[in-house]
Structure 1
Amino acid sequence: MKKLLRWQKILLGMLIALLLAIAGGIIYIKLNIYTPSSTASAIDPIKVTKDYELFTSEQADRAKEKTNLIFYPGALVEPASYRIWAQEVANAGYRVYILKLPFDLAVMAPNKANAVVKSHEKNILGGHSLGGVMASRYAHNHQQEISGMIFLASYPDEKGSLAKSSFPVLSITASKDQVLNHKQYQKAKNYLPKMTTYDVIKGGNHAGFGSYGAQKGDGQATISNRKQQKEIGQIIIHWLQEIN
């Protein structure tokens, strides 16, 4: 067997180290993913594909059904964690798509909304935490196809600036949220249009925008997850009714 040259040994060692680092990163991500509560898991989407979970209502208003709420989950949060408020919004007559992302990270697929955005229909983008940042970048780059934007404990960065957009924006935060960078949130208001509605859920926290248990570094909610989910759904429905 031919012996490896010194540079070949070095290259092989670097390759092995790289593969180990990648494997370690994948294992770390999988061990730190937030999984849905039993309540959220018990809700069945009307359709599941490799790209999204879809929620609709049998009693859906056909006019409202032309409104698509396309949602980017927060970092390392499984899509099913948002099923509770998604189903409530769907029950009001709207279609809700919760996107499925590689490794549950929106940064791995910032243009995932392409799989759902439909021309000649009202497409509302939404996102929780980092998911909102990526959603706003998509909205910034596809303003002709987007009719609105919803931020849950999130805000746009410069690349996702919506300051010059002509569509309305809804921003919902929670009073006990300690994961959201409140200083950056205030600065990011410069990237939002004048048609932005702000709402605060009193007693809610960051993890409460989904239903997946406690999140590291978060504040302690003084309302139940059930109540926060209900409020999220009601706020979104009211806003959708106002902009339609």
Structure 2
Amino acid sequence: MTSPNPSRPVRRFFRVLLPLLALLLAFGIGLLWPTLHRPALRLNQDSVYPGARARASWSEADGGVIDVRPETGQAHTLLVLYPGGLVRPQAYQWLGTALAPLGVETVIVRFPLDLAVLGTGRADAVIRRYGAGKTVYLAGHSLGGAMAAQYVSGHAGQVAGLILMGAYPAGNVSLKSQTTLRVLDLMGEHDEVAKASAVQDGLTRLPAQTRLVTVRGSVHSFFGRYGPQAGDGPPTMTHAQAEAQIVAEIRAFLLGQQK
């Protein structure tokens, strides 16, 4: 009678386990690949705005920024912009172009893996490099807006104002005590990523003088130019129409014409 070979069950176990582990590894890489492999950063690919022109350049300084400035003349205002999560910074170059004729220099920050949570304090170096002699504002879209609010909460008096686009402060962040801080809070009418209920709740952690504006017919992805976003609502206005309202509201805010 042949004795049982104890190694056979072990071999069978590994014959089943190893393909399963390989499948799980491939699945995990597939999920992480869009985060780990970021698309190329290219200037001027989708930055045209009607009636506006600007000069844009890329700098590796301070972790990497897109600097969008007036085509002629000096800027009197600096807008530091934190992109949304996993959104490439060039998606917001259009906004810098739109604001440049007003004398606004927009510096769009690149974050590691395009996640502002990995570099909340990046505004420090950008303001030091570009802010001399200018009125400084901080803006952010989505996750970038939450991180911009977090930055401002720890740097009272560092900026004149904050612009939130489809964003709200995290639950543990409050700016209520910053009574001189001007805040413009832009909410997409059909935004299903930063939902109206969450944005309204965020108002309880913002200064009393905050101006909340609903961008008619718009959705979460309309604050940038990066295509549709999973989980977002359906728009009832064109992207261009939404951008026109966004620019009009930001222009009035930066020029001190807040209603």
TM-score above 0.5: yes
- The C-alpha deviation readout for 1:135-189, integer Å capped at 9, x for no partner, is 0111111112111000001011244311111211000111111111332222211
In the alignment, what sits opposite 1:112? Answer: 122
Q: What SS does structure 2 have at the residue aligned with 1:54?
A: strand
> Which one of the candidate residues 95, 98, 106 is aligned to 1:85?
95
CA offset at residue 198 of structure 1?
1.4
Q: Quick check: which has more Rg, 1 or 2?
A: 2
Return the TM-score normalized by structure 2.
Answer: 0.76
CA offset at residue 33 of structure 1?
6.8
Cα distance change of structure 1 residues 58 and 170 upon mapping to structure 2, 3 Å threshold:
same
In the alignment, what sits opposite 2:219? Answer: 205
In the alignment, what sits opposite 1:192? Answer: 206
Computed over aligned residues only, the root mean square deviation of the Cα atoms, in angstroms, reads: 2.9
CA offset at residue 58 of structure 1?
2.5
- Is 2:133 aligned against 1:133? no
1:38-187 mapped onto 2 (5 Å cutoff):
38-40=45-47, 46-50=56-60, 51-60=64-73, 62=74, 65-117=75-127, 118=131, 121-165=134-178, 166-187=180-201
Q: State how far apart, in whole Å, the 2-side matches of 1:26 and 1:205 are.
A: 26
Q: State how far apart, in whole Å, the 2-side matches of 1:192 and 1:201 are.
A: 19
CA offset at residue 49 of structure 1?
1.1
- The C-alpha deviation readout for 1:178-211, integer Å capped at 9, x for no partner, is 1113322222111110121111111111000001
1:27-38 mapped onto 2 (5 Å cutoff):
27-30=33-36, 38=45
Q: State how far apart, in whole Å, the 2-side matches of 1:46 and 1:38 are.
A: 11
Q: State how far apart, in whole Å, the 1-side matches of 2:173 and 2:138 are.
A: 12
Tell whether the 8 Å contact from 1:163 to 1:191 is kept in structure 2 after alignment: yes
Tell whether the 8 Å contact from 1:59 to 1:93 is kept in structure 2 after alignment: no
Q: What SS does structure 2 have at the residue aligned with 1:169?
A: strand
Paired letter, 1:114: D
Which deviates more from structure 2 when the two are superposed, residues 99-108 or residues 151-160? 151-160
Q: What SS does structure 2 have at the residue aligned with 1:83?
A: helix
Q: What SS does structure 1 have at the residue aligned with 2:236?
A: coil
Paired letter, 1:212: Y
Cα distance change of structure 1 residues 34 and 195 upon mapping to structure 2, 3 Å threshold:
farther
Q: What SS does structure 2 have at the residue aligned with 1:116?
A: helix
CA offset at residue 212 of structure 1?
1.0
Between the two structures, name the one with larger relative contact order (CA 8 Å, sep ≥ 6): 1
Q: State how far apart, in whole Å, the 2-side matches of 1:238 and 1:73 are.
A: 21
Cα distance change of structure 1 residues 121 and 130 upon mapping to structure 2, 3 Å threshold:
same
Tell whether the 8 Å contact from 1:180 to 1:206 is kept in structure 2 after alignment: yes
Cα distance change of structure 1 residues 114 and 84 upon mapping to structure 2, 3 Å threshold:
same
- The C-alpha deviation readout for 1:77-113, integer Å capped at 9, x for no partner, is 0011111122101122111111111111001111111
In the alignment, what sits opposite 2:12? Answer: none
CA offset at residue 47 of structure 1?
2.2
Q: Which runs of 5+ in 1 are unaligned?
A: 1-19
CA offset at residue 221 of structure 1?
1.1
